[in-house]
Amino acid sequence: MRRRPAHIPVRKPVFLGCEGESEQAYGQFLNDIVRGKGLPFHIEVVNLNPGAGDPLARVKKAVQEIKRRSQRRAEFQYRALLMDDDQVTGDQHRRQQVETLAAQHDISIIWQSPCHEAFLLRHFPGRLNANPPDGVTSQANLVQVWPGYAKPMSRVEVSRRIDLQGVERVSAQHQEFAALLRFLRLIS
């Protein structure tokens, strides 16, 4: 008797570009949730930081990476970037350049205001409306609820402190992030 080959579900590729290792770990954490729920997606988390130090350079690098990686596999079904808002605060012209280039390439920008640590802080109960003014204050506030936090954290360390409930909490007040989570079927 002949065995049937195991069915390997096709996963739709999703591109998530990140500023650095901490954002990369967060993206991998999201991918672990997607896999744990058996959802038909794979988040390809790409650290854009080497060689792309400002938001416009990151979008340009993301466009190159998406093109390069799409040649090896199926087209990305969703494209997003996790980027710190503080790098364009006060420079509306620069923000507009970044957003225009991203829109031209169907890339959603998930602005973390003012930075990744503030974004993480909002995942914790009672901290959703936290609005630290800068990165230093954001990190100090995050350490209050996450003792021992230091950059970069691994995806395992992220998953020990943040859960799907925290992700859902943040999505309620973050339109671009919620759009990604809806696409991934993590929220409705």
Q: Which of 108, 132, 106 is nearest to 120 (CA)?
A: 132
Res 109: pLDDT? 97
Alpha carbon 116 to chain centroid distance? 10
Mean pLDDT is lowest, of 32-36, 72-76, 91-95, for 72-76
Res 24: pLDDT? 96
Domain locations in the chain as residue ranges? 12-183
- pLDDT tens per residue across span 31-73: 999 999 999 999 999 999 876 678 999 999 999 999 998 888 7
**DSSP letters of 136-160?**
HHHHHHHHHHSTT--SSPPHHHHHH
| Mean pLDDT value across the chain | 93
Res 48: pLDDT? 93
Q: What is the pTM of this model?
A: 0.92
CA torsion 55-58-60-61 (nearest 10°) is 170
- Cis peptide upstream of residue 152 (ω within 30 degrees of 0): yes
Res 112: pLDDT? 95
Res 33: pLDDT? 97
The Cα 79–Cα 132 span in angstroms is: 28
The Cα 16–Cα 46 span in angstroms is: 6
Q: How far is CA 175 from CA 73, 110, 133, 141, in A?
A: 29, 8, 21, 23
CB neighbour list of residue 48: distance below 8 Å, 6 or more residues apart: 17, 18, 19, 58, 61, 62, 65, 81
Contact 174, 128 (CB under 8 A): no
- pLDDT tens per residue across span 114-141: 999 999 999 999 999 999 999 999 999 9
Which residue's entry shows tokens 């109960």?
Answer: 125
